[in-house]
Amino acid sequence: MSVYLYNLIFSLSGSNAAVGRFQPYNSSNPSPTIANQSAAWFTFQSAGTPNNWGDYFQVATQPLNPNQWGNPQSDANSLTLNPGDYLIMRVATLDGNVQNYMSRVTAVFARGTGQAAGPGGSDLQSPLLLNTPTTQSTLPRTVIDVDAAGGGTPPSSWPPALSDGSWASWLGMVHAAPGALANDYTLNVGASVYVTANAPVAGSLFTFGHDPRMHVGGMMKRVAA
């Protein structure tokens, strides 16, 4: 069992913001951590799971410890997962004005194709389940939508960043498709950022998007190429 963290970093200034892109992976970063490396998968370096989280969705209320995450790898290639692995997603910024940012983080799992699966494939659209800390479900969790309770007119209900300038969500356990079939997925991550004070000249509302891929093996572990 492994725990993988998907890390994305944005800034409201510069060329990436102009095209709605999170910062790309920096292969020349000499000391990559979750605090400075975007578009990367990190692996939990301790036994078990962070905060003993289980097979359910949970919004983090405290910053993650960068020292607990290592072995970064670019999201340019599909991440290979095994049933029983766990996922966590973190969106962050290093901007100095982050105390005035509110963000709604969303993500959509899918197979990445509009066609039905061929022989030996599965039409399952997500490896996650709609579990919560108090309820169990057999339905897939295809949509992650982190918004504060109570709704209201956006962005009034969007949560502020944690003290390290991040928004993090525990996504739960990876499950195999029916029949223990292997399957491939895309994870389309989006962040809408609203600036409540001292907004950049470009405006008060920004959006960012990215779409890493992953392969979930069946009952047998997939051998890396």
Give tens-digit pLDDT for 64-120: 999 999 999 999 999 999 999 999 999 999 999 999 999 999 999 998 655 555 555
* Widest Cα–Cα separation across the chain: 55
List the beta bridge partners of residue 167. 91
Type of residue at 186: T
Q: How many separate domains does the chain show?
A: 1
Residue 222 lies in a domain: no
Residue 183 lies in a domain: yes
Which of the residue ranges 63-77, 139-153, 186-200 would you say has the lowest mean pLDDT?
139-153
Compute the distance between CA of residue 32 and CA of residue 42 in angstroms, rounded to an integer: 10
Q: Where are the alpha helices (DSSP H) in the chain?
A: 15-18
Domain hosting 96: range is 3-216
Compute the distance between CA of residue 26 and CA of residue 31 in angstroms, rounded to an integer: 11
Residue 224 lies in a domain: no
Which of the residue ranges 87-96, 147-156, 174-183 would you say has the lowest mean pLDDT?
147-156
Residue 36 lies in a domain: yes
- At residue 169, does pLDDT exceed 80? yes
Strand pairing category for 166-173 and 86-93: antiparallel
> What pLDDT is recorded for position 20?
97
- At residue 173, does pLDDT exceed 70? yes
- Phi/psi for 66 (5° steps) reads -60, -30
How many residues make up the chain in this entry? 225
Residue 223 lies in a domain: no
Residue 221 lies in a domain: no
- At residue 215, does pLDDT exceed 70? yes
Compute the distance between CA of residue 166 and CA of residue 46 in angstroms, rounded to an integer: 21
